[in-house]
Structure formats: C-alpha cells, structure tokens
Amino acid sequence: MRNGSNNWGVSYSRIVWLENALRSHDNVNRILRHDDIVIEVERKSGKDITVLCLDEYALGESGVLRVFNEFPAVNFISVGGNWNGYTPEAKELCLSRQIGLYNSSELAGALWKNDFWTYHKKDDKGNPIYPYKRA
C-alpha cells in the first residue's frame, strides 16, 4: 500500500474532503484509505464499498474504462465536487456493471442504498437528475 501520490492528479485537499464526508456519514462504520485515492468503506447497513476519489470535471467513458483497468475492485467512483460530473455514456457503463458514479451532491444519498449504484436525485416531478457534462 502506498499513500501520498497518484496518477490521476487528485489533490490532497480533495482526498481529505472525501475522507471527512465518508467518515461523518451516519451509515459508515469506518474507512481505510490506500493507494492514495482508494477508500474502503465499511457501512453499518449494506455491503461494504470501495470508493475511488477523483477530481474530474467531466468523467467520460474512456475514463471509466481506465478506472476499471487500474482499480478492478472499485465499485464506487466519486468524480469530485458539485461542479464535477460525468457523461451519459459513463453513467450507463457504470450502471451496467453495478458501479456507483457520483459527484459530491449525490454521495450521501447513495451511501444509504443497498443497491447504491442505482441512486439518483429527483426533480419535483420525480424524474432523475444527473450532473451530466460533456467531455
């Protein structure tokens, strides 16, 4: 295990923010970070998850494939803050593999669901809202 550097350009402040958000969530027992940007999350309710901490303005399908190649155990990708997002193609690919793909505005809700990869925010009519961006 190594901490302190990563090939994705994720800053220490982004990693610490995510660690704190996870640690303070009411459905999290404990976390363990390794490989600088991978965080193992033991949940109180639901299966444990393995989160990859990224800081991508618009994570596309090729980025998701890179994640799958470099971090095969990851089942939850955090793309960063509220201003970050992902493409529709990236979301579909993750859904097809039961991988959560979220920005920080979606994080807390997803951590409560057993099938966390299906979580999405809803508008006032109940329609899904996704923070889609174009890469």
Residue 50 inside a domain? The answer is yes
Residue 46 inside a domain? The answer is yes
Contacts of 17 (CB under 8 A, 6+ apart): 81, 104
pLDDT interval class at 135 (50, 70, 90) = confident
Q: Which of 104, 106, 101 is nearest to 82 (CA)?
A: 104
Residue 32 inside a domain? The answer is yes
**How many domains does the structure of the chain reveal?**
1
Instruction: Give the residue numbers spanning the domain of 6.
Output: 1-56+73-84+99-113
* 104-115 per-position pLDDT tens digit: 999 999 999 999
Query: Could you tell me which residues are beta bridge partners of residue 33?
Result: 39
Q: Is pLDDT of 2 > 70? A: no
Alpha-carbon gap, residue 24 to 1, rounded angstroms: 24
DSSP string, 24-90: TSTTEEEEEEETTTEEEEEESSS--EEEEE---SEE-HHHHHHHHHH-TT--EEE--STT-EE-HHH
Q: Which two tokens mark 14?
A: 């982004």
pLDDT interval class at 5 (50, 70, 90) = confident
Q: What is the mean pLDDT of residues 75-87?
A: 97
Task: Give the burial class of 21: count Cβ atoms within 10 A of its Cβ; 0-12 exposed, 13-18 middle, 19 or more buried.
Answer: middle
Q: Is pLDDT of 1 > 70? A: no
Residue 130 inside a domain? The answer is no
User: Model-level pTM?
Assistant: 0.94
Q: What is the mean pLDDT of residues 52-71?
A: 98
